[in-house]
Amino acid sequence: MNKDEVSTGAGLSVSLGLWQDRPAAEALATARLADELGYDELWLGEMATYDVFALATAVAGVTERIPLTVGPLAVTVRDPATIAMGVASVRALTGRRVTVALGTSSTVVVEEWHGRSRARAGVALAESARQTRELLDGARSDGRGSVLRSRGYRLRLPAPGGSGLTVAAFGPAAIRTAARYADRLVLNLVSVETAGELIGSLERAAEGAGRPRPRVAAWVCAAVEAKPGAAVAEGTEQLRRGLVGYLAAPGYAEMFARAGFAELVAYARTRPRPRELWAAIPPSAVSAVGVVGSVAHARERIAAYRGVGVDEVVLVPAATAGDPAGAATLSALSGG
């Protein structure tokens, strides 16, 4: 795929896991693998290590052609002007196609880490989506907005434009924002069944907004056997730890309960210590929202997501001592 084209087929992409129990620089190794193995796109989030725009610039320096999506970025942490400036900067400095994803993030990230208010996060997401899209298209900011507003700013660098805005959504308000403003919706940590339901909601919201349904990407955590008999227990352990923050969260809790983990959700809602909740999570909970096990099973799961309308499956590979940078998982699933 040319770096300035937007994939319209059934994509298979990679997101950097940014695992907190692994060296931060391992993200660059995962990026190189995704590029070399021919994956369609690389997603770069932002957690506790690298600034995402700095990381995207570094990734472009160690890869050859893979398009980049930065985010989802927390809209109550980064304002539309800084988001648009960051995207335009990476594109101008690297020559790579760069798009952006927006989301509301968590209370821990927004209020505790950054000391910002997460009040009216749904309104902030809608206002950021509108304003960021206009700035990326080269317009001057108009000052409208009740939570977020920018007045009089216009990109001095070339405006990226194009089909470049993704919205992360799970609840109804975010779905409506994606339907109205986004080129793509991204779902994170979602079962096949719930993905299908959310896509149905998106279709109805897009019809109401008088727009075509945005494309849909789903981040799917992955740890697969590179060859028959290879262990994936270490990767599964890492993925289990990643579920801790979601089991009691609105929407996610109901999804896991429906998938057969109602007792686990009830326990999570008592707010146990994270280590205690992690110990209670069975490996089967990872399987409900991920791609774990044999290559054949993984391909079946990817096909299942596509079968309910997911246009782009985004693998979030476990990275462990036994599978540094997720190399085995990415190699096993490339081309699928």
* Residue 336: band (very low, low, confident or very high) from pLDDT cuts 50, 70, 90: low
pLDDT at 112 > cutoff 80: yes
Percent of the chain at pLDDT > 70 equals 94
CB-hemisphere CA count at 13 Å for 49?
17
- Which of these, 79, 35, 83, 86, lies nearest to 56 by C-alpha position? 86
Residues contacting residue 246 through CB under 8 Å, at least 6 positions apart: 189, 252, 253, 256
- Which of these, 55, 61, 69, lies nearest to 11 by C-alpha position? 69
Q: Which of residues 7 and 232 earns the better pLDDT score?
A: 232
DSSP letter string over 85-99?
HHHHHHHHHH---EE
- Which of these, 15, 14, 20, 17, lies nearest to 318 by C-alpha position? 17
Mean pLDDT over each residue of the chain, to the nearest integer: 90
> Is the four-CA dihedral 40, 46, 50, 55 of positive or negative sign?
positive
- Across residues 286-306, what is the average pLDDT? 92
pLDDT of residue 21: 87
Residue recorded with tokens 């959310």: 198
Whether residue 118 contacts residue 111, with contact meaning beta carbons closer than 8 Å, is answered with yes
What's the pTM? 0.90
Q: What is the pLDDT of residues 35-80, one digit of tens each?
A: 999 999 999 998 889 999 999 999 999 999 999 999 999 999 999 9
203 CB burial (10 A radius; 0-12, 13-18, 19+): middle
Type of residue at 233:
A
